[in-house]
Amino acid sequence: MARGSAVAWAALGPLLWGCALGLQGGMLYPQESPSRECKKLDGLWSFRADFSDNRRRGFEEQWYRRPLWESGPTVDMPVPSSFNDISQDWRLRHFVGWVWYEREVILPERWTQDLRTRVVLRIGSAHSYAIVWVNGVDTLEHEGGYLPFEADISNLVQVQLTAQTSLGPVSDFYTLPVGIRTVAVTKSQFLINGKPFYFHGVNKHEDADIRGKGFDWPLLVKDFNLLRWLGANAFRTSHYPYAEEVLQMCDRYGIVVIDECPGVGLALPQFFNNVSLHHHMQVMEEVVRRDKNHPAVVMWSVANEPASHLESAGYYLKMVIAHTKALDPSRPVTFVSNSNYAADKGAPYVDVICLNSYYSWYHDYGHLELIQLQLATQFENWYKKYQKPIIQSEYGAETIAGFHQDPPLMFTEEYQKSLLEQYHLGLDQKRRKYVVGELIWNFADFMTEQSPTRVLGNKKGIFTRQRQPKSAAFLLRERYWKIANETRYPHSVAKSQCLENSPFT
């Protein structure tokens, strides 16, 4: 065996999602095939955070040319995971700054000595700015979290060679599961394979105790079993693209996906500039390139709650949407709005209107009796102006499991359930007309930064962070199975809620 290189990391942000070394390769998900070998680098890495006041690029000069442990103490850090909840060091809980991941890798001898071998280092995700060193060489940089990036490192690991000769094209082949379907939009319907489709599902975050946003197979399978239990047929990758394994499961189980890029926080005029626009387009290219072959993905979302009432936002969103359509003319494009219908400058350019509204929560809180009127007014105003199908892309209420009060008060399970019931009455008035979907916020509670408005994170989940149901989950299950059975058996009595009636089939 030939001794491999020490792979040194520096990343800004909390997440190292996973990485692998492979032969041949490309941006597609790494997998073994007759022409590929893969070496996953999941497991324990050496880790250090820079808590100094002088956090800037350039400090790495003292570290990357020798093992990390030689320059100071390190701790073990599992990959994939977020580092926030792993340690008992309170400083890491909300740390934003430079952190280091380092791993020494032993490579097969053939990888390091055979000129016909191409060795690719692929990182599943590092949030949100990453620099990668291999054998002390600055090899790769990437800006933007949640998406993969890679580099050919053959000349760095084939250390016994003085130069690498040109060998011409190298055969590389692999297999992918294939799904064939069409997607189309009329002024009042969303069509999959020519048939009207109604989104009844959830918004999700990749988040769980201890691991944070790090990918976890047991958690993923549990979540899909809960989606089956709910009768959900769709979700939105709210605020960022999810791990490729998630989309593979959606393909496998027939869950429909609105795939959203990390375009969140565009709330101020200065954000809508040419530098941001260029990067936004680049990120959409990465999202489309990675996810375009997944039949589960039926629509791209380019942003969440931008300040779309601004004139500069109108041009910005127009350009991003047009760029995305050019990248993939086969799918509709949207963004998620919380602006006023009369002032929204981006809505003319989308194919489907996606609306976030939190009536009786952030507005007129406590007044559940207003929801139906407010929701009807919202839908009628948006549809009259734009004549496009509408999805209620977020709605919900913060709920602490085990809190009860009657009459319902905010933060209790009864209040969340009552709020959902009022929304559902309003949705039912429009869903056979031009409303084509409803996505609850949120599937499960998730951790956030500390603030006076959050009690150990966002509690709008219908499941707890540990995936236990609140009262609202049973209400939503009854509704989603009813809608699923109406769709499957439009001229017969609704079937019983059993696994044979799975919305996945």
**What is the pLDDT at residue 200?**
98
Q: How far apart are the first and last CA of the chain?
A: 48
CA distance 192 to 233: 13
Task: State the catalytic residue, choosing from 305, 394, 413, 438.
Answer: 305
pLDDT of residue 171: 62
pTM: 0.81
Rounded distance between C-alpha atoms, residue 436 and residue 439, angstroms: 10
Q: Residue 23's pLDDT is what? A: 54
DSSP 49-63: E--SS---TTGGGGT
Candidates 85, 389, 59; CA nearest to 207 is: 85
d(CA 460, CA 445): 6
Quote the Cα angle for 408-401-84, to 5°.
Answer: 135
Pairing of strands 256-260, 98-104: unpaired
State residue 449's pLDDT score: 87
In the predicted model, residues of the chain with pLDDT beneath 70 are: 1-30, 54-65, 159-174, 489-505
C-alpha 292/C-alpha 297 separation (Å) is 7
pLDDT for position 20: 61
**Distance from the Cα of residue 496 to its chain's centroid:** 33
Model pLDDT for residues 227-280, shown as the tens digit of each residue: 999 999 999 999 999 999 999 999 988 999 999 999 888 999 999 999 999 999
pLDDT of 285-294, one tens digit each? 999 999 999 9
305 catalytically annotated: yes
Residue 304 belongs to what H/E stretch? strand 297-304
How far is CA 386 from its chain centroid?
Answer: 28
Q: What is the pLDDT of residue 25?
A: 43
Find residue 469's DSSP bridge partners: 463
E strand or H helix at 393: strand 390-394
Buried b (16+ CB within 10 A) or exposed e, 290-326: bbeebbbbbbbbbbbbbbbbbeebbebbebbbebbbe
Q: Which of 307, 304, 321, 206 is nearest to 264 (CA)?
A: 304
Say whether domain 43-156 belongs to CATH 2.60.120.260. yes
Residue with tokens 């960022």: 240
**183-488 adopts what CATH topology?**
TIM Barrel (3.20.20)
The C-alpha torsion from 413 through 418 and 420 to 424, rounded to 10°, is: 160
Phi, psi at residue 324, to the nearest 5°? Answer: -65, -40
Q: Which sequence spans correspond to the domains of the chain?
A: 43-156, 183-488
Query: Which residues are 196's β-sheet partners?
Result: 191
Instruction: Determine contact, residues 331/300, Cβ cutoff 8 Å.
Output: yes
